[in-house]
Amino acid sequence: MDINDRVVVVTGGAGGIGKALCTSFAGAGARGVVVADVDGDGAERVAGALSADGHDALAVRCDAAVESEVIGLVAAAVSAFGPVDLFCANAGIVIPGGVEVPDPEWERIWAVNVQSHIYAARAVLPSMLARGEGYLVHTASAAGLLTQLGSAPYAVTKHAVVALAEWLSITHGDAGLTVSCLCPQGVWTAMTGAGPEEESGSGDQLHRDFAVSTAGRDGMMLPAEVAAIVLEAIADERFLILPHPVVAEYEQRRAGDRERWLRGMRKVQAQIAGSVT
């Protein structure tokens, strides 16, 4: 898909990868960029910056985990710019811990990390399929292909996102829907301890150490770097977007010899536990 003259919606657009995507889409000539986030003020700042640079942008406060708000988001986008061509379901959270994590926290991460993607698809699929054209980008994680040490809720929900994206591509790909699934490893965002403005590696040292010891073992990327790769992948209409190419090797090892992969991951987990203590 050529982004030029397209209407694009990005959830989680107030910061991190979402903010970088909004900036990249605007720079690529999008007819309208809708910046959606539960942080309404943050969305306003991003949209305001894009507008100041001469781009058409709209900020919408939206809790992507609430279906009625996602429906309202799509309605606002259509009212401002026309039918949505590209929807980036990008909102996500992380909760550390294992099966002992309380049910309300499991329910919260499931709503944000999985249900939000379902709600997005429900809201835009009818129009896209009727037009015979549309694009969904689902932000998952390398954790959705592999795992997330230290966070069962994150690993489980990100696997679900990958499964949903695959199902949508298989089911609707011949009807004009294009689907991409973004699976980065470590990226400097608020989630990994970056500062809220620069997202360039400064921030809370505890989160930084955790990120580098787990998802960041193969290097941390900046959101703008990830956004540039996403833009290229959309142009090529690639399903799997791997900003860290080494993830493909890990996935092949996992599929080729699951027992060996599990043993290796236990070693990594033991190394991390040792460095923390």
Q: What is the mean pLDDT of residues 61-88?
A: 98
Angstrom distances, CA of residue 266 to CA of 207, 260, 261, 274 = 21, 10, 9, 12
Report, as residue numbers or ranges, the catalytic residues.
154
176-213 pLDDT, tens per residue?
Answer: 999 999 999 989 777 665 554 444 444 444 445 444 44
Q: Would the pLDDT of 245 be above 80? A: yes
Please tell me the total count of domains within the chain: 1
Q: Would the pLDDT of 277 be above 80? A: no
Q: Looking at the domain assignment, is residue 177 inside a domain? A: yes
- For residue 193, what is the domain's CATH number? 3.40.50.720
Tell me the pLDDT of the chain averaged across its residues.
Answer: 91
- Range with lowest mean pLDDT among 90-104, 158-172, 207-221, 240-254: 207-221
Give the domain extent around 155. 7-247
117-137 pLDDT, tens per residue?
Answer: 999 999 999 999 999 999 999
Q: Looking at the domain assignment, is residue 147 inside a domain? A: yes
Q: For 64, how many CA atoms within 13 A lie in the half-sphere containing its CB?
A: 29
Q: Looking at the domain assignment, is residue 94 inside a domain? A: yes
pLDDT of the residue at 272: 83
Helix (H), strand (E) at residue 202:
none
Query: How far apart, in whole angstroms, are the C-alpha atoms of residue 189 and residue 172?
Result: 32
Q: Looking at the domain assignment, is residue 106 inside a domain? A: yes
pLDDT of the residue at 206: 44
Q: What is the mean pLDDT of residues 230-247?
A: 97
**Global confidence as pTM:** 0.90
